[in-house]
Structure 1
Amino acid sequence: MVIQDHPKIRDWVLTQGTPTLFLSQDSIREAHRTLKAALPEVGLYYAVKANSTEAILKIWQEQEGYFDLCSLNEVDQVSALGVPPEHCIFTHPIKSPDTLKRVWQFGIRTFVADNPTELKKLLPFGKELQLLIRMAMPNRDALSDLALKFGILDETELLQMFRQAHRGGVRHLGLCFHCGSPAEDPRVMQEALVRSRNLVEKLAQEGIVLKTIDIGGGFPHYEENRSAEIMQYVAQFREALDWFANRGFALLAEPGRYVAGPAMVLATQVIGHAHRGGKPWYYLDDGLYNSLSGQLYEQARYPIGLLNPREGPAKPSVLAGPTCDSVDVIGMDVPLPPLQLGDVLLFSGIGAYSSECASTFNGFPKTPIVSITPEQP
């Protein structure tokens, strides 16, 4: 059951007030169960950057226990939970020398590079280093096309990076890529795996053996029928993935959006009402600088519902956030019935890259997150 449809949602809103982000622990567990069923041979490293809420990290620690980290703060978070370093990978392609040193001291041995400068930083760490070279996989249809910033697109350059790493003494080499987030079209993953196989075969002819393939994250999040949807998604590239699995490659993935996205719903209430330009304007106690920041950073759009449905015809309406700033407009033509002060709106599917990117602009505090347990009354 998605959290906004839970029979207790009204009671929770009444108890906690607004704005509040409600986190479903069951949703996190379901995400692990369905993704593991679809990718049983793949180690699932939760991408902490999607949502670093401690409750999510603890649940994932109980389920899979592997984490994908990109900053010292994320390392500190999982370390405080007692996560062993061998259960972590550090996948940021660019690292300061101090960051690299401290992450290595923590005990992480798997790192990523996508350029010769970064490779030079990593080579001194010797034979313990487990190095993934990042291949660029453009996806212009994704909200976040990570190939714009990271990865090597040219095959000749990729091969040269592997040769340099091999000559430098790295004995545990692998390939990683990210198909963008969300990667709605599984054919992009299929293409990435085909490209990966071609690279693996060419390098093998030179005596350079790759041992690991990291297929990244960006799996679309599904709020309903998750098991069937992710199974259907993976089926589109299953044969290409099996080629690696059947040859003993260590397979990794970095799910973030799929895990966190459906797990949270925002409850926010109408605190102001005006008519401007022939439209009703409703001002909410949360907005773009806070929990709805995904609209700014990713052009994300979240399904909107009313906690208590209102009668009347839906009319194009404007939703705005609470800050004293004209950028803080959530939507200009949102179909809504006439609302009143105190009406509560629910924004669902808001768990990924929302609260994580929120700010305290204009003195408004970040919206609190309330973790809902399965047995919570």
Structure 2
Amino acid sequence: MSPHPLIQDIPFQKPLIRWFQRYQERLPWRATQDPYKIWVSEIMLQQTTVNTVIPYYKRFIHEFPDCHRLAAASLEDVLKIWSGLGYYSRARNLHQGARYVVGHLQGRLPNDPEVLQKIPGIGRYSAGAIASIAFQKPVPLVDGNVIRVYSRLFWIDKDIKKHQKYYWDVAEQVMPQDFPGDFNQGLMELGRRVCTPTKPTCLLCPLRPYCRAVARGNPEALPKKIFRNPSHPVTMGVALICDQGRFLMVQRQGKTVLKDMWEFPMLATTKEKLSPKTITNNIVHEWQLKTEVIKMLPALKHSIMNQRITLLPFVLHLCEKTRKRKEWQWIKPDQIHHIATSSMNKKVLGALSQSFSTGGQDGHYF
């Protein structure tokens, strides 16, 4: 399916580029043309807001300033720096991709988008971003922000999921030869700051004179909404097993988004409440540890993708010493932030620390 020929009749490229060059947000990855740093930023920005990414990006680049340093690092060190940003497969793919670049491309990212897509973790979108921003190649990109801008600008009344190729065809058709990096960044920034999903600020939009959705008076009608899978509730018992001021953390195994991350032992349950006996019996069964419950902390709420998780944290005392396993660590609370763990476990740690600071005599488990 080819884009409609009228798409070519809208001269929006130069106004968009001028707008971006004048009003772009000052971001740390925009102060460089280094393709590696642009690659890192684009991967981090996937499904994550700009303000959330900024401190993680700075910390990551400080620790791994180039492909060689990232490739030489252990996966655990990479996950530790990424800890809290979520979607940990992105960190694994970056690490694997850096090793590929060092091993097959002399440590340098290529300017050819086709070659870029051979690197683990780099798809068509990321290749377009790197090629256009770092190398000024006229290569298009399409993400949710770009789809929203094009849907409204050209009045594309199509199902997003079924017509991804159509949007890529549009992007190729309107891609300018001059300032392709500014053009692509302008599209993404316009979608993020102006042409927003709800309540777009059309009066401030540089494309307002050309926008067919504005002319029709209903820009929020597009793009056609995607009905996402409904979220479902999950209850997790969390075992905070204490031994001489240290807490047990175990390394997640198996094929999961949290693989290799450190976490407190957990028990998935269909019940809204857990008894102390249930949690101690589970620990005996799963971990061969004899424990006793000191106290139960208030329930916590957390979300991962379409899961709405209720966390039921129990503080337990280890009654008998046991042989340490390879995938175990006994660690002090103030050291937990220095290992690769998820934001969910940091939330539990926060509740534990608060309990200690306000719990009076209950603080003895530290």
TM class by smaller structure: under 0.3
* More strand by percentage: 1
Structure with more contact order per residue of length (Cα contacts < 8 Å, sep ≥ 6):
1
* More helix by percentage: 2
Give the TM-score normalised by structure 1: 0.24
Query: Over alpha carbons, which structure has the higher Rg?
Result: 2
Give the TM-score normalised by structure 2: 0.25
